[in-house]
Amino acid sequence: MGIEDEDIVRVREATDLADLIGSHLQLKRVGRRSVGLCPFHNEKTPSFNVNAELGFYKCFGCGKSGDAITFVREIEHLDFVGAVEMLANKAGIQLRYTNENEGVHRKKRSELTDAVEKAVDWYHERLLSSPDAAHARGYLRSRGLTGDQVRKFKIGWAPDDWDQLYQSIRVKQEIFVSSGLGFVNKANRVQDHFRARVLFPIHDVNGAAVGFGGRVMPDGDGPKYKNSFDSTIYNKSRLLYGLHLAKDEIVRMDESIVCEGYTDVIGFADVGIERSVATCGTSLTEDHIRMLKRFGRRIVLAFDADAAGQAAAERIYEWERALEVDVAVAKLPDGVDPADLAAKDPDALRAAIADAVPFLGFRLGRALAAGNLTTPEGRARTAERAVAVVREHPSDLVRDQYLMQVADTCQVAVDRLREMLKQPAPLVAEQRWVPNQPAEYEAPPQIVRIVDNADSRMLLLCLHRPDSVPAYITPDMFADPALRSVFAELLDNSTDDLAGLIDSLSPTTAEALGQLAVMDEPSADPERIVGHFLHDAAIRRVGDLQLLAERTGDITLMPVISDIRLLIPKVRASSFDLTVAAGLVPLLG
């Protein structure tokens, strides 16, 4: 599936890169470019450069670079198509897809999410201002939720009515039903799906509204929790509440926190922890883990510290090994969920996350705590169960650390436990985690630092005013190998898709061109730039010829050296013209 190339070009051209990036960070104008603090790494001195004219950015601190599409992909954590679609929506561009069916599917999905977004706004306004929501507002206050929290997460209220939503938001019946907002009852009337419930909007990872989680009032009828039913846009096994808000901090901290309830996520946010998510009325699935791994490797489980929460935690162990994530379990007090702890003791909640134990340590602690350690037989059986748990970890060093813990607890010699560990595991546990093979070694790019000199100004002329570059300029006239490569690439390729061109180059050449792309266009006349470039190239040529003559004794080189020396002052002069160049260029070959 793809987007028509012409539409991708239209999106790039319609996007002002400085405005786009300026909506995420403060930019300061410096000449023809803008600079600011890089959003992709922590820094105190601005090293993030934006050249809106070329549609390209470059950070000299972390090396990130690209165009508008690349920036949206990085900052919003989207794939290429998703980034183009986001920019197209902002620019009002209707995209065409290479697969016609895909275009139809995308349009239908957009109609469904637009309908749910209307419902989010309508339900939210009902909660804030409707008299029939007073009971719901009181309930939320009793749970410790403030008005600011309600507004941030756009919590809503579904009135106890058959079809108020359907009559109010005015979407087509087919869209209303397909989006999960309602259904057609036995009387062939459209009926709202949610009634007399506090609603928590659920969004996909890109921030599109796709459904709701509803909670009945304490004195209400029906099941305590009710979620949107599965639809084209809503699949509870592949959605995590709050991920669209949490993903930036997850990336920054390389850690996510998984809760069981929506109010837990709100509680974490209230104490300044913005990287928590919650499942949507289902247990944690492998799809959830894969989704979280896109943003951060470490996953902390903040389930209630009761038997159900612990059992749910244990099911994730195989996923940890297979998907190569680091899973930990928060040390929550027994019987206290994160939302309550956030309201009563924020410091304790922060400590529970900071002191989260590795998943294997959690499992081992469960095994040891469940054993009978008062008799030799009980300690032996406990040691056997504990060794079976330790055996599952792929690292010899980690296994040995935990064996020492087992030895202390069960009063068994650690050498005896090591012997037990070497014994074959039962067949049910035969499957082993195999680490990925290391990738083939790739030499790092050479360190490149572009300085303001005649060579770099010539390349900037190529970027900004290519028609002003004389045809007699050749790559071998440049002193630096990286700049030679850049010039050769600029001769052979268009700069309409500068980010795409840079992606296709070797690391060293890409780094050099990326730095040039965010440098100011030289203010001197093109003739002066060419003259200075030829002047420096001629001086280097004289030096090379002198060394060659001294090394070989070739006296025929002396007249060439003399001719170049005569022309050097003329190419640097303000009256430089093509006649001078015609005499000098053949001598530089």
CATH number for position 144: 3.90.980.10
Band of the pLDDT at 1, cuts 50, 70, 90? low
Residue 122's pLDDT is what?
98
For the stretch 567-586, pLDDT in tens is 777 766 555 565 666 666 77
Number of structural domains (the chain) is: 5
Per the domain annotation, does 102 fall within a domain? no
- The pLDDT, as a whole number, for residue 164 is 95
Is the same domain home to 327 and 390?
no
Which domain does 416 fall in, by range?
362-429
Domain assignment present for residue 298? The answer is yes
Q: Assess whether 124 and 219 both reside in one domain.
A: yes
Amino acid symbol at 272: G
* Element spanning 160, H or E: none
Reported as a single tens digit per residue, the pLDDT across 25-54 is: 999 998 888 999 999 888 889 999 999 888
In this prediction, residue 5 has a pLDDT band, given cuts at 50, 70 and 90, of: confident
**Which of 347, 372, 407 is a domain's end point?**
347
Report the alpha-carbon distance of residue 532 to residue 538 in Å, rounded: 10
Residue scoring higher pLDDT (523 or 207)? 207
In this structure, are 191 and 171 located in the same domain?
yes
In which band, very low, low, confident or very high, does the pLDDT at 306 lie, cut at 50, 70 and 90?
A: very low
Strand partners, 276: 257
- pLDDT at residue 531 greater than cutoff 90: no
Position 535 confidence tier, pLDDT thresholds 50, 70, 90: confident
Same domain, 151 and 216: yes
Quick count: other Cβ atoms within 10 Å of Cβ 312?
Answer: 17
- Window from 90-104, 144-158, 371-385 with minimum mean pLDDT: 90-104
Give the C-alpha separation, 463 to 54, whole Å.
8
**How much is the average pLDDT of 60-77?**
89
pLDDT at position 321 over 80: no
Residue 187 lies inside a defined structural domain of this protein: yes
User: Domain check: are 114 and 79 in the same one?
Assistant: no
User: Would you say residue 495 lies in a domain?
Assistant: yes
Mean pLDDT (the chain, rounded): 85
The larger pLDDT score, comparing residue 547 to residue 298, is at 298
Same domain, 228 and 247: no
- Give the single-character DSSP code of 3: B
Contacts of 356 (CB under 8 A, 6+ apart): 300, 328, 329, 330, 331
Tokens (6 digits) for 122: 């309508």
Comparing 12-26, 151-165, 321-335, the range with the smallest average pLDDT is 321-335
| pLDDT digit string, tens, across residues 137-149 | 999 999 889 999 9
Do 584 and 458 belong together in one domain?
Answer: yes
Of 234, 269, 298, the residue that ends a domain is 234
pLDDT at 446: 58
In a domain? residue 97: no
> What does each C-alpha distance from 328 to 183, 240, 314, 353, 357 come to in angstroms?
41, 18, 11, 9, 5
Extract the tokens encoding 85: 């679609």
Task: Return the pLDDT at 519.
Answer: 86
CA distance 517 to 506: 16
Question: Cβ distance 72 to 87 under 8 Å?
Answer: yes
Mark which of 191, 211, 234 sits at the end of a domain: 234
Burial pattern 462-487, b for ≥16 Cβ within 10 A else e, equals bbbeeeebeebbeeebbeeebbbbbb
Which segments of 282-412 are extended strands (E)?
A: 298-301, 326-329, 357-358
Query: Dihedral (C-alpha) 270, 275, 278, 284: value to the nearest 10 degrees?
Result: -150
Are 52 and 13 contained in the same domain?
yes
In a domain, 180, yes or no: yes
Q: Measured between alpha carbons, how far is 117 from 134 in angstroms, rounded to an integer?
A: 23
Q: Which of 11-20, 25-34, 269-278, 495-504 has the lowest mean pLDDT?
A: 495-504
Q: Are residues 412 and 516 in the same domain?
A: no
CATH of the domain at 250: 3.40.1360.10
Q: Is residue 255 domain-shared with residue 331, that is, in the same domain?
A: yes
From 447, 477, 449, select the one nearest 462 (Cα to Cα): 477
Residue-wise pLDDT tens digits, 414-464: 899 998 888 866 543 333 333 333 333 344 455 678 888 889 998 998 888
Q: What is the pLDDT of residues 324-365, one digit of tens each?
A: 898 898 988 877 889 999 999 999 999 999 999 988 888 888
Average pLDDT, stretch 246-250? 92
> 195 pLDDT exceeds 90?
yes
Residues 547 and 576 in one domain: yes
Cα separation, 557 vs 291, whole angstroms: 68
The model's pLDDT over 281-294, given as tens digits with 9 standing for 90+, comes to 888 888 899 999 98
Q: Is residue 563 in a domain?
A: yes
- What CATH number has the domain bearing residue 44? 3.90.580.10
Is 437 a domain residue? no
466 and 504 fall within a common domain: yes
Report d(CA 342, CA 344) in Å as an integer: 6
